[in-house]
Structure 1
Amino acid sequence: MALNIRSEEVNQLAETLASAARVSKTEAVRMALVNELARREAKPSLLERIKPIQDAIATYPRTGLKADKAFYDDLSGEP
C-alpha cells in the first residue's frame, strides 16, 4: 500500500532524518514510526504512573472526619 505525504513540513522532516541517518526517505519514515511506537509502548500508563502516589496516600491513617461544607467553611474562617 502506498503512502503519499502531501505535507511539505513532513516531507522536509523525512528528508532531514534520511540525510542524518544516511538512509532513504522511506526507511527514515519507517524508522520514525517504529521508534514512536516503541516509545509509546515503553511509556507507563497513567494508572501505573499514579499508583505510587495512591499507595503513599493510603498509608496515612483515616481520621474519621468528613470534608463537608462545614469543614471547608471552618478552614476559610467563615461562620
Structure 2
Amino acid sequence: MPLHIEDEEATAAVRALAKVRKLTLTEAVKVACQEALERDQRAQPVALRLAAIHARVRAAGRTGEKADKAFFNREWGETE
C-alpha cells in the first residue's frame, strides 16, 4: 500500500532516521510510528493502561482451579 509523503521536513526526518539506524525508508517510518505509539501509551495514566487488562481477566471467567500451595508447586514443576 503506497504512502506518499510530500512534506520536505517529514521526508528529511525519515531519511535521517533511516541513515542513523541503517534502515530502509519503510522500516524507518514503521519504527518511528511504533515508538511514538508506545510513548503515547506510556503517557496514559496507569489506571487507563490497566483497564484493558482488567477487562480481559474478568471476561476470562473462573477456571475452577484452586490457587493454593499445591497449585503453585505444580505450575513451577515442584513436588512436595
TM-score normalised by length of structure 2: 0.54
Aligned residue pair count:
47
For structure 1, list consecutive stretches of 5 or more residues without a partner in the other structure: 49-79
TM-score normalised by length of structure 1: 0.54
- CA drift of 1:44 comes to 2.5
Deviations along 1:17-63, one digit per CA (max 9) or x if unpaired, are 00000011110010000000000011134x98xxxxxxxxxxxxxxx
RMSD across aligned C-alpha pairs, in angstroms?
Answer: 1.6
Q: State the distance in 2 between where 1:44 and 1:37 align.
A: 11
For structure 2, list consecutive stretches of 5 or more residues without a partner in the other structure: 49-80
Identity of aligned residues (%): 30
Q: State the distance in 1 between where 2:32 and 2:44 align.
A: 20
Counterpart in 1 of 2:20?
20
